[in-house]
């Protein structure tokens, strides 16, 4: 075969490959290989390094659509400590998570590129400095266009994360599930703590306060006006007793209308769930939400412009069975499933 004939043959092969790419892919995602959880058929679930959902681990957020990132902090805790161990335990329990959501049809690992990027570096001995470290770390992660799912850590971490989110997306709507409003001025004269992140975030303009909903608030308080500050900012408050004995799907229809097409952040404090289901947390309050209601809330966020989220306040020393961390891992999977770009099959 002559040189000219070889060149013509090569051109035909390239043309055929391009045609196949257009036929079978039809988008810029041609030949893109997505990360997926390691199957239990490939490696026993107790084996291997404990990454989130047994996904690959990488040092940066390059080429990722969403990343899991640990924030092992408990210096802002007011009661039981131990949330610094939360990310590690949640990763360990997440080994049971598989590829698809059989209830909703969500197929995140066939749709978007996801990996575990390890833990953000911070000075755990200096809380204000740690907050600056967290903000800088998330700013860097988001600079590539990657969205983040933070694995906490106490709820202090959400304030610096929202600072980074504001720089990227502007003020965001907030779906906040919690037993506590976390809008305190301070504790023992210290303004930075896990009871104050949303007061700081609102004051600094990180939140679009007319698009903030807090679900599951309950417990004893310091004054009957405890929730008034948030209401004055425009927050919608849904106390836990308003959720008893009912589906929260109708509530989430209202929330979707409230959030419209603006950017939305999800912050889930595990103590929003009743301690009968999630005892491993620092500030448990009785008569909370059920895991079923938690799924209704998160699945109800499908279709929103989710730009980030977190799951916080898992304290392994108080989680003797591991069930709190297991629940947290599943909630993080559900949050991943509602990110923009995730494909759904008919179920």
- Confidence at residue 167, expressed as pLDDT on a 0 to 100 scale: 98
194 is in an annotated binding site: no
For the entire predicted model, the pTM comes to 0.91
180 is in an annotated binding site: yes
What whole-number distance in Å separates Cα of residue 58 and Cα of residue 50?
Answer: 13
Ranges in the chain, pLDDT < 50: 3-27
Whole-angstrom distance between the N-terminal and C-terminal Cα of the chain?
A: 54
What whole-number distance in Å separates Cα of residue 273 and Cα of residue 321?
Answer: 16
- Confidence at residue 186, expressed as pLDDT on a 0 to 100 scale: 82
176 is in an annotated binding site: no
155 is in an annotated binding site: yes
> How many distinct helices (H) and strands (E) make up the chain?
9, 10
pLDDT tens, position by position, 127-136: 999 999 999 9
pLDDT tens, position by position, 257-309: 999 999 999 999 999 999 999 999 999 999 999 999 999 999 999 999 999 99
Domain ranges of the chain: 50-344
- Confidence at residue 332, expressed as pLDDT on a 0 to 100 scale: 98
110 is in an annotated binding site: no
274 is in an annotated binding site: no
Which residues fall within 8 angstroms of residue 293, CB to CB, at 6 or more apart? 243, 247, 248
The domain defined by 50-344 folds into: 3.40.800
What whole-number distance in Å separates Cα of residue 32 and Cα of residue 144?
Answer: 18
By C-alpha distance, which of 158, 162, 76 is closest to 125?
76
Adjacency order of strands within the sheet including 114-119: 114-119, 66-71, 147-152, 305-312, 263-269, 172-177, 207-217, 236-239
């Amino acid at each position: 075969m002559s040189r000219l004939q070889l060149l013509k043959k090569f051109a035909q092969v390239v043309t055929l490959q391009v045609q196949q790419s257009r036929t079978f892919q039809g988008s810029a995602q041609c030949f893109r290989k997505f990360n997926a959880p390691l199957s239990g058929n490939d490696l026993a679930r107790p084996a291997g390094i404990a990454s989130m959902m047994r996904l690959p681990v990488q040092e940066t957020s390059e080429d990722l659509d969403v990343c899991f990132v640990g924030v092992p902090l408990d210096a802002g805790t007011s009661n039981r400590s131990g949330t610094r161990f939360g990310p590690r335990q949640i990763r360990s329990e997440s080994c049971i998570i598989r590829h698809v959501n059989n209830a909703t049809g969500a197929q995140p690992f066939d749709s978007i590129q996801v990996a575990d990027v390890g833990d953000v570096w911070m000075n755990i001995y200096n809380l204000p400095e740690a907050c600056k470290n967290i903000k800088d770390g998330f700013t860097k992660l988001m600079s590539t266009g990657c969205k983040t799912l933070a694995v906490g850590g106490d709820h202090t971490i959400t304030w610096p994360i929202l600072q980074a989110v504001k720089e990227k997306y502007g003020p965001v709507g907030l779906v906040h599930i919690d037993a506590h409003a976390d809008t305190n001025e301070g504790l023992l004269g210290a303004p930075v703590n896990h009871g104050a992140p949303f007061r700081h975030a609102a004051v600094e303009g990180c939140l679009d306060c007319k698009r903030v909903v807090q679900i599951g608030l309950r417990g004893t308080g310091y004054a009957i006006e405890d929730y008034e500050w948030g209401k004055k900012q425009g927050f919608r408050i849904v106390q836990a007793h308003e959720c008893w004995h009912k589906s929260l799907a109708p509530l989430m229809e209202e929330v979707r209308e409230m959030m419209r097409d603006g950017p939305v952040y999800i912050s889930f404090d595990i103590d929003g769930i009743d301690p009968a289901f999630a005892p491993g947390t620092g500030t448990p309050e009785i008569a909370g939400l059920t895991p079923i209601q938690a799924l209704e809330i998160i699945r109800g966020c499908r279709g929103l412009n989710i730009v980030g989220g977190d799951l916080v306040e898992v304290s392994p020393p108080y989680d003797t069975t591991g069930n709190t961390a297991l629940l947290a891992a599943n909630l993080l999977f559900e949050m991943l499933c509602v990110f923009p770009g995730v494909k759904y099959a008919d179920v």
